[in-house]
Structure 1
Amino acid sequence: MALFVSPAYAGNVLPVPSVTIYPGDIIKKDWIVDHDFGAGGPMRGVAIDSRSGLVGKIARHTLLPGLPISTNAVGEPRLIADGQKVRVVFEQDGLIIESYASALQAGGAGDVISIRNLDSGVTISGIVQTDGTVRVGG
C-alpha cells in the first residue's frame, strides 16, 4: 500500500545530532543526521534547518541526539583563545596602526572581545576579524 503525501506538505526535515555534542565541540559532518518532525515539529527559524548551518560551528550548549538545534546553540569557532597574543589593527582615513595585545577572553569572527595592550596595559575592546586579528576604533 502506497502512502500518499500531499504536495502541500513537504515535511519538516531538520538536521539533528546523532551523538551528544558538548559545549566547545566543533560539529562534524558525521555527527548530524536528518530527521522528519512532521507537521507538528519545531518551526523553521527557531531551529537550524540546514547542515551547512551546523558543520564546522562550535556548540555553545550540550546538543542531544534526535533533538532540533536552536539558532543560539551554536556559534563560530574560536579564532582567539583567552590569554593569546593577538595582532591589533586600527584603521581610519588611510592611517593604519598595528600593535599586539593579550586577549582577555576567547572569541570568534565578529565577536567583540576585551584585550590588554602589551605596552601600556590599557584594556580596550575590539572586533575579531576572520584572519584572527582584532580591529579597534575607526
Structure 2
Amino acid sequence: MMFRRIRKIKTTCCILGVLIAASAAPAFADMGTAVIPKQIIYPGEEISAGVVEEVEVTNPKLAGEYARSVEEVTGMVSNRTLLPGRTILLSALRPPYAVKRGSAVRLSFSIGSMQISAGGTPLQDAAVGDVIRVRNTDSGVIVSGTVMADGTVQVMAR
C-alpha cells in the first residue's frame, strides 16, 4: 500500500512510575500527504471537497507531482478518469473554462485612450489567461485575444 488514512493514535505507557504520552505514528508520517478520490471521477467533472480525501503517504518511492491537499484540487476539472484509492496527478487537472465555444462574449480592444468593444463568439473553450480565436458577430472577422477573469476577451493588436 502506498498510503494510509490519516489518524493520530495516542498511547500511554508507564516507565519507572512516570506516565508518558507517546504517538503511535510511524516513521513515515513525515513523508507528507496525498489526495485520493473516494469515487470514480470522470473527465470533465469538477472536483468538490466531498469526493476526495487526504491520506498519509507510506511509500517512499511514490514520485511525481501529485496533489497533496484537498484545497489544491477543489474546483479543478479532471482531464482523465480518476480512480478511487489512486493519487491525483496535477497533470490530470485543469482550471474550469471561463468561456465556452459558441457562447456570447464581449470583445474589448484598447490602444492609448481609445477603447473599442464589440460582441463575439469564441471558436473554442478556454480558461482565464488562454489565447483564443473569436469571431466578431457584427463583421464576421476572426480575431485572437486573451480570456480575462470577468469572461471578456481582450483583443490583441496585429
Q: Same fold (TM over 0.5)?
A: yes
> What is the CA distance between 1:42 and its match in structure 2?
2.9
3-state SS in 2 of match to 1:130? coil
Q: What is the aligned-residue RMSD (CA, Å)?
A: 2.1
Do structure 1's residue 18 and structure 2's residue 41 form an aligned pair? no
Given that 2:29 and 2:57 are in contact with CA atoms closer than 8 Å, whether structure 1 keeps it comes out as: no
| Change over 3 Å in CA distance of 1:93–1:27 after alignment to 2 | same
| Change over 3 Å in CA distance of 1:110–1:95 after alignment to 2 | same
| TM-score, structure 2 as length reference | 0.76
The aligned residue for residue 64 of structure 1 is 83
Given that 1:14 and 1:68 are in contact with CA atoms closer than 8 Å, whether structure 2 keeps it comes out as: yes
The aligned residue for residue 63 of structure 2 is 43
Percent identity, aligned pairs only, is: 30
Do structure 1's residue 112 and structure 2's residue 131 form an aligned pair? yes
> Using the alignment, how far apart are the partners of 1:107 and 1:89 within structure 2?
17
| TM-score, structure 1 as length reference | 0.85
> Using the alignment, how far apart are the partners of 2:73 and 2:94 within structure 1?
9
- For structure 2, the residue ranges without an aligned partner over 5 or more in a row are 1-10, 12-22
> Using the alignment, how far apart are the partners of 1:117 and 1:11 within structure 2?
53
Given that 1:82 and 1:104 are in contact with CA atoms closer than 8 Å, whether structure 2 keeps it comes out as: yes
3-state SS in 1 of match to 2:133? strand
Alignment of 1:1-138 (within 5 A): 3=24, 5-6=26-27, 10-43=30-63, 46-137=65-156
Given that 1:35 and 1:66 are in contact with CA atoms closer than 8 Å, whether structure 2 keeps it comes out as: no
Alignment deviations for residues 70-125 of structure 1 (CA, whole Å, 9 cap, x no partner) = 22211111121110011011123232211111111111211222211112212122
Say which one has the larger Rg: 2
120-129 vs 25-34, greater mean Cα deviation: 120-129
Alignment deviations for residues 2-60 of structure 1 (CA, whole Å, 9 cap, x no partner) = 74644x8512311111111111111111011112222425336x112221221011111
119-128 vs 21-30, greater mean Cα deviation: 119-128
> Using the alignment, how far apart are the partners of 1:63 and 1:107 within structure 2?
22
> Using the alignment, how far apart are the partners of 2:57 and 2:130 within structure 1?
33
Letter of the structure 1 residue corresponding to residue 102 of structure 2: G
